[in-house]
């Protein structure tokens, strides 16, 4: 399952970023998921909590920010959010587009509780 691999990667990065004696203090892990990343948020959350339950971070929550798909039309310069995966420029109907965002899959922030 794709999401399980992604969840493992996120957990590895968190474990490398936070000192081991602070694992139990991790409150929130905030990630950004582009709509083109191919990740199903519900499925990712499920895999991630399953992995967390085997660590000292089982109390941590996952906050997911969904990043819209933003394109730039190379013909008329119009910048727009792609809805329903319709990859044509709403202004001039061109399909000559550059993808500006939507593929992100990254950790934005890790929040620890105060001691
Ligand atoms: Zn255009």
Phi, psi of 17 (to 5 degrees): -90, -25
Q: Which pairing describes strands 105-112 and 26-34: parallel, antiparallel, or unpaired?
A: antiparallel
Contact 56, 23 (CB under 8 A): yes
Cα atoms in the Cβ-side hemisphere of radius 13 Å centred on 99? 14
Q: What is the CATH number of domain 2-68+102-112?
A: 3.30.2320.50
Expressed in angstroms and rounded, the spacing between residue 95 Cα and the centre of ligand 1 is 8
Tell me the pLDDT tens digit for each residue of 78-112: 999 998 888 999 999 999 999 999 999 999 999 99
Global pTM value: 0.83
Tell me the pLDDT tens digit for each residue of 38-53: 999 999 999 999 999 9
Expressed in angstroms and rounded, the spacing between residue 86 Cα and the centre of ligand 1 is 13
H or E segment to which residue 45 belongs? helix 41-52
Expressed in angstroms and rounded, the spacing between residue 100 Cα and the centre of ligand 1 is 14
Expressed in angstroms and rounded, the spacing between residue 61 Cα and the centre of ligand 1 is 41
Which pLDDT score, from 0 to 100, does residue 42 have?
93
Question: Where are the domains positioned within the chain?
Answer: 2-68+102-112
């Amino acid at each position: 399952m794709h999401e399980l691999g992604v969840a493992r990667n996120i957990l590895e990065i968190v474990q490398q970023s936070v000192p081991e004696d602070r694992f139990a203090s991790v409150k929130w892990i905030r990630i950004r998921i582009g709509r083109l990343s191919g990740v199903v948020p519900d499925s990712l959350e499920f895999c991630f909590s399953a992995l967390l339950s085997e660590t000292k971070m089982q109390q941590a929550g996952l906050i997911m920010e969904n990043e819209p798909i933003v394109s730039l039309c190379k013909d008329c310069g119009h910048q727009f959010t792609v809805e329903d995966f319709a990859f044509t420029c709403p202004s001039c109907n061109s399909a000559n587009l550059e993808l500006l965002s939507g593929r992100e899959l990254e950790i934005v922030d890790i929040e620890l509780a105060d001691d």
